[in-house]
Amino acid sequence: MTEAEGARIFPRFAGKTVLVTGAGTGVGAEVAVRAAQEGARVAIHYRSSKAGAEETLRRVREAGQEGVLVQADISSWDQIKRMANEVWEAFGGLDVLVNNVGDVSSEQMSWRELTQEALDAVVDVDVKGTLLMTHEFGERMLEQGHGSIINVGSTVIVRGSPRAPQYAAAKYAILGITKSYAKVLAPAVRVNTFAPGFMETERLLNRADWKSGRREVLLSQTPMGVIPPPEFVAGTCLWLATEEAAHLTGSYLLADGGFNMVGA
């Protein structure tokens, strides 16, 4: 990050606490670091990528903020409850939850390759995990009287996915989770969906279809003319938890460089 870019970061989360799931790599790591750069104490969740989570923690501390690591398989409600207890013990509460973690079936290149295992993995993490995280943390935020939950969705729901239809289905389910809990938890807790478009994460860069021309096709169809790294949209994601977005709940915020341009 250049000095000029750093000057544009404001402490929107000074004194706040933020938990980001799947923060060991990709989008989650960048959202966690951005939250720290904006003044938050950050809980960094991981399931198996401990080394990545430790690197994120190092970057959070480098930004001058307190950070803690929490480990859990979010397809397990018992593990979610344990993690919530750890976060409350560390921070005394939680202001913002970013449900970022998700299974994208990245190894699957065609709908014909669908397996029972691939379907179950996506549903367990993307649907059950997001619902249980929103339920457990949302209930605790309601009891404390405030909070904001951001469920990271996808623009795949706009066009569907011939590559991995189970992924599109699971991400569409997140809209139902978001809207339901936005009504249940209002007005104390807001719940919104953030939907980034394609981002050049390590996982995407290593996908076979990305290496064989798909990147160039998508670039030609993106008005902003760029497929950005995840740090490019981290601040946009967190905006949903700011006071500037205080009247937004149950919403779907799309950030894809104009690729879809969804209408009302």
Is-contact 163 222, C-beta < 8 A?
Answer: no
Measured from the Cβ of residue 87, the count of other Cβ atoms closer than 10 Å reads: 21
Catalytic residue among 46, 167, 181, 252: 167
Residue 215 CB burial class (10 angstroms; 0-12, 13-18, ≥19): middle
Is-contact 46 52, C-beta < 8 A?
Answer: yes
Q: What residues contact 223, with CB distance under 8 A and at least 6 apart?
A: 257, 258, 259
* Strand extents, DSSP E, the chain: 17-20, 41-46, 67-71, 96-99, 147-152, 189-196, 252-255
Give yes or no: 167 in active site. yes
Measured from the Cβ of residue 210, the count of other Cβ atoms closer than 10 Å reads: 18
* Strand extents, DSSP E, 72-107: 96-99
Give the active site residues: 167
